[in-house]
A and B are shown apart, each in its own frame.
Chain A
Amino acid sequence: MKKRWSERIGFLMLYLAGILVLFFLGVILFDIFIKGVGVLSWNFLTQPPRMGMTEGGIFPAIMGTFMVSIITVIFAVPLGMFAAIYLNEYAIPGKITRLIRLAIRNLSGVPSIVYGLFGVVLFVQMFRFGTSVLSAGLTLGLLTLPWTITACEEALKTVPKSYREGALALGATKWHAIRTNVLPYAIPGMMTGVILGLSRAAGETAPILFTGAAFFLPHLPKSLFDQFMALPYHLYILATQHHAIEKVRPIAYGTALVLLGLILLLNLSAIWVRYRYRQKMRG
């Protein structure tokens, strides 16, 4: 049967849509890479900015992002894990469970700037942490919490039911069964989710605008209550707030490349962990 014209045109459009999406991604990655790679050097990665950020490197911003991410993980991962264990292992289907799930889905849709507002009131003002690494890290922790919960729950779901039943049949209590027969097999899957959450947190700007990110800080934060520089915020400043925007454009490109590289690296390592884990489960 000959294909009709409408069918041909239709499928052509679908092809074009696929290609266009690839094209968007290609342009973003290509442009940042080509224009940013020239700035990259050992000094760029290890020096603080100098001469009003027109020269020097981005070392404090890299370290700031690193430190904030660690606080985010320390805060969000245990909480997310516990919540996931409750939802997957203990929760009985009912009103409260439905409500919790609804809340999680809605939390993941709350705009990041609203998390920023929440962080300002709760951590900066009420808890008196001030604008600091701690406040920003906790705010980002709240932001990544719904994703962490979902990822951990997915990981728990992949552990076969028979593992639990085997332990229970031998007389183990529920918690004992979870601890010895479920968690060890779910940890790699959880790791994947944690890394993905981390890559989200590292790239977020809006929540840290008012909770701790500093415009310019030549040294590293000395305590949890110091302000810090962060890669995404640094890029925002270089792109829009700097007094000599054209002059710092190369540095902005370099910063964007480092940020993008960091996030791609995190994503790739998540994929790698998942891949290894699947092979192990198979073997």
Chain B
Amino acid sequence: MTRRAPGEHPAPFRIVGRPLPRFDVADKVQGTTLYAADWRLPGMLAGRILRAVYPSARIRRISVEKARALPGVAAVLTADDVPQNALHEDPTGLGLSSFATPVLAADRVRYQGEPLALVAAESEVLAQAALEAIEVEYEPLPGVFDAGAALAPDGPRVHPDRENLLIHWKLRQGDVEGAFRRAAAIVERTYRTQRVDHAALEPEAAVAWVDGDGVVTIRAATQVIEHFREIAEILRLPHNKVRVQAPFLGGGFGGKEDMTVEPYAALLAWKTRRPVRMVWTRQESLLARPKRHPFTMSYKTGATEDGRLVAQEISLLADAGPYPLLSPRVVFAALVVGCGPYRVPNVKIDARAVFTNNVPTSAMRGFGAMQVTFAYESQMDLLADQLGISALEIRSRNFLRKGDRLPTGEALETQAALPHITARAVEALGERSRPSAPSGRVGRGIACNMQPYGRTVWFRDRAQAWIGFEADGALVIRAGVTDLGGGQAASLAQLAAEVLGVSPDRIAVHIGDSALTPLAGGTFATRQLYMSGNAVVKAAGELRAMMIPVAASLLEAAEPDVQFADNHAGVIGAPKRTIALARVVKECGRRGIPTALLSGFQGEHAAPIDLETGQGRTFPDYTFGCHAVEVEVDAETGAVRVLKLAACHDVGRAINPQSVEGQIQGGAVMGAGQALMEEVALEAGINLTTLFAGYLIPTAMDVPDVRPLVVESGEGKGPFSARGIGEPPTGPPPAAVAAAIQDAVGVRLTDLPMTPERVFDAVRARPARPEHEARGKV
């Protein structure tokens, strides 16, 4: 499954690169893993949120007396009960603006489902009764429900003190006007992507309590334990009096990156001085938990006669809901990779996010870079059509190479093995399938993408890790990472095992506790392997450097000849000369040499980009990929079935190939779902998709076997030259499927999801032509 790119060196690793079973999977198959909602404490109350019914309204009156008087109700809180009812944000991270988001809405509601009040009661049933006993008098107000309309200067404002434009990022390079005048082919289209829900199988959940030292502790399904600071601010407590623990998550995908239940559970626990469990219902989660941004993307792309890109003029518009959350950063990522993995000398991009009264939008796997993939890859195919060259050919002529300048002016510092990646994906499709019915049409398509990994370099990203030996030679790692299911914890053990020679089954990993594990930054932005992986390798390396001389002295060997492997220190080339690592540990103790240490990895840092031109350093690096897809379209109904999906990514080095392949498979299926069936539909701010039965994510019958193809170019900025893989696989499927549909029935869809009805309508609208034959472009 894993083959090397030309020029790669084989890796001389013992542990890294092996498909080791993950320690957490053994617990998960036995059902012993305790997720956030599984934690039980004596006297635990049930916490619930009262949510706004209207998307835009004034709250005239909110009355909680009746609710408070119900038996078994321990607390009912409104905005007045929140010590600091504001989350202060710097939405861009550049200090350009500040924003205060209410924790509980006080006099104004800005989206359907906005939290208004909290209850804690002895049981879920009693909590529900208390919610129903709270009286709210609303005065519905006009709202802003269309991102385009939000930009109109005289329309309603979501916030009284500011305009609806949240952010406008700009990128300017070269001269697009001149370039278009000289272009041989120009394609202009507008693409739309939809609101998507993360739909992790685990709903948002936390148990909060005040411990014996008065520390408000929240054990939450969260991707970011660092939120303890925000919770402390809300409660007006010192930061060291709030503690966030993150158990293994039942999926995150960015939906648990912002705070969800944490501040509410904390407030109730702090107020009642009793443990409080808050688990959102699935329907509540679908209603109100922030979604992936819907994007409207207008692209004008110009190329020479032989298909070389000369200019991209792009306008991106994202619906940010009423509060900033991570919207500016999502749109920034879209800006940076808006042209895709191609050389383009002249670029003009305007990327905007606007406030509306629709459901909030924030981080989701792919983070802006996912949406633009649909646009830039579709443009490549349309240009190829116009110029009469193949989809493969036009891409080959424009693929970025190491050293090329990106539209932001920075040079690409690592290899972009795109020709190899693309060839692997295409080859994996094999023979073209035959249609399964007379109305079936088979088509194929490809799409390439680039996804940043690591946070924007202005953020001074940092991750710490503590590593130490026990007296018996076992190893302990403490790192504040959170494990979403992608093997974040297990990968740290695999890395430490490689460096220190402790077998993985003798390594204990403690993660996700803001009081006890050194902070590592959250699990998002495909940063965890890059940041914490490097931190662990660094710490392990520093520890090893201290212990090698001691081992050498015990073994009576020269330091360069000493190796740590299989829980022993040994002499290279002399298999009989070994001693247990435990002995080395003991000797270190005797000599006063530490066998544990804390270290940290500092991510790359650079000054922020120029705000007018978008020029400057942005992300540390990128992961490149290509997916090849074969579909069968039922020409009579428009239904699309994915027959084959091959997904290839260059991960630099696969620390655990099995986990890497699993991420690729899962991400590709998530992308396929967004291509064909997922949508959170809103109408005038009212969410129509609040049943899980109505939010369609792929089942096992909706996708074929996904062939994950791993390329290891040996160049990446993560540990042992690895690159991140969490987000990249979600990007290509929509564009690849759109290309395959065009190959099958001759229509190019520009709106996601590509439902049967949309395909059907497009086919009906297609100008009459002879029976369409697959053009065999792939």
Partners in one complex: no
Q: B residues within 8 Å of A by Cβ?
A: none
Residues on A lying within 8 angstroms of B by beta carbon are: none
